[in-house]
Structures are given as structure tokens and as C-alpha cells.
């Protein structure tokens, strides 16, 4: 029996799964670094650090130029600057990946309930979903600071299952990184991965998932074929 048989809902990641937000990170982080008098970083470096939440991202960026004590001393000022810069450009430089709107539309047409679970702060997430025309698809949206723990912890996925009144086996997680896969495995949810996002510099084929789908539309078609 397929692990996708009986799926009634999907939990979908945001950065690297629905939107290519790397150009937004690049602009905001370099704005922050300029404000702090630190040297700029390349987009390729930032791509390796994205996905574990803003605090982790900012500490990793500062650590490129500062020792542990320097990172600790400047962290709060850096976070403040980063949040200001990010909110001022949020979504301006990011783009939908191919098949996202089509995939979400197909999932809704199948009667799947949809949640967006991201490690991005909720104050960044809500306006971004609205700007890109994605907000209407999701019944539930959790950011990295919405709950006490974020992915790869299973708590956000478990919370969605409870919200929907579904067993984890009925809720598929779809994401671009090991964070999504680890959270799903720990929660007992099936998981599909996309090959085009930001997986901390690792090949997605090394990630333990139930299948790689080229687009969210392919994910919708695959889920439907098992139901």
C-alpha cells in the first residue's frame, strides 16, 4: 500500500518550496551588514544558511566575520537591522516557482486541506503569502515563531494534524530540505521533496523522503493517483 493512500491534507513549506526568496535574503542581509560596518556576503553563501530560522541565519552570517564573542555582542543589533531591512523589501525580489499556483489549485480541487508551515517568522510570512496571491489557499499558517519549537522538530506538523483532526498518516508534508523530511518522519507524516530549493548545500536525493516531485503540480497529481 502506498504511503500516500488516504492522504486528506498537505503541509507545504514556503522558502525554497513555493517561493524563491533567496534574492530577498540577499538584499536584507547585505543591508544589515552595511549598517553594522561588516563586509557583504554572496548569495551562494546565504543559500547554505537558510532554512533553520532567522536567529540561526543571522548568527551564521555574523560568524563569517566575527568570533563567538563578537557574534554574541552584535547579535541583537544585527537581528533588529535584519528585520527592518527584510520587512521593507519582503517579497519584492522573490518569485513563485513553476507549478505552485497550479499545484495548490489542483490540491484544493481534490478536496485536500492545506497548511503552510515555515521557519520564517510569522511577521514576514503573512504579508509575503498575501503579496504573492498564496494566502487564500491555506486554512492554517505557522511561522518559525508561532509555536515553541520549529522544524525539524515535529511540533508544527503535529499541531496542524490536531488542527485538522487528522492522523499524521493522512497528512503529507511537502518541502525542499532535510528540515521538512526530519519533521515529517518524527511526526509520522508521509513526505515529498522538491529538488530545486535550499537544502543547506546537500543534494535532496540524500534526504530520507517518500519521493521527489519536480513541482507542486506533480505532487498534486501523485497524491491524486494514490487516492
Which residues lie closer than 8 Å to 183 by C-beta, 6 or more apart? 151, 152, 153, 154, 156, 157, 173
208 catalytic, yes or no? no
The answer to whether 13 and 120 have CB atoms below 8 angstroms apart is: no
Task: Spot the catalytic one: 13, 24, 180, 218.
Answer: 13
In sequence order, the 6+-apart residues with CB closer than 8 A to the CB of 84 are none
- Enumerate the active-site residues: 13
Amino acid at each position: 500500500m502506498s504511503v500516500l493512500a488516504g492522504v486528506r491534507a498537505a503541509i507545504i513549506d514556503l522558502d525554497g518550496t513555493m517561493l524563491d526568496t533567496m534574492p530577498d535574503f540577499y538584499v536584507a542581509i547585505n543591508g544589515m551588514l552595511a549598517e553594522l560596518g561588516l563586509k557583504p556576503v554572496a548569495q551562494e553563501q546565504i543559500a547554505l544558511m537558510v532554512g533553520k530560522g532567522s536567529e540561526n541565519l543571522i548568527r551564521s552570517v555574523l560568524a563569517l566575520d566575527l568570533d563567538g564573542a563578537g557574534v554574541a555582542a552584535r547579535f541583537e543589533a544585527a537581528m533588529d537591522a535584519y528585520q527592518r531591512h527584510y520587512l521593507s523589501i519582503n517579497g519584492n525580489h522573490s518569485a513563485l516557482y513553476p507549478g505552485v499556483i497550479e499545484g495548490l489549485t489542483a490540491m484544493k480541487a481534490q478536496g485536500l486541506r492545506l497548511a503552510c508551515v515555515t521557519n520564517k517568522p510569522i511577521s514576514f510570512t503573512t504579508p509575503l503569502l498575501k503579496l504573492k496571491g498564496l494566502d487564500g489557499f491555506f486554512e492554517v499558517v505557522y511561522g518559525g515563531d508561532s509555536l515553541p519549537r520549529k522544524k525539524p522538530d515535529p511540533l508544527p506538523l503535529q499541531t496542524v494534524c490536531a488542527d485538522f483532526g487528522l492522523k499524521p498518516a493522512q497528512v503529507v508534508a511537502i518541502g525542499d530540505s532535510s528540515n521538512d523530511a526530519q519533521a515529517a518522519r518524527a511526526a509520522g507524516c508521509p513526505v515529498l521533496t522538491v529538488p530545486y530549493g535550499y537544502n543547506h548545500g546537500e543534494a535532496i536525493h540524500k534526504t530520507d523522503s517518500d519521493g521527489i516531485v519536480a513541482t507542486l503540480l506533480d505532487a498534486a497529481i501523485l497524491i491524486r493517483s494514490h487516492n
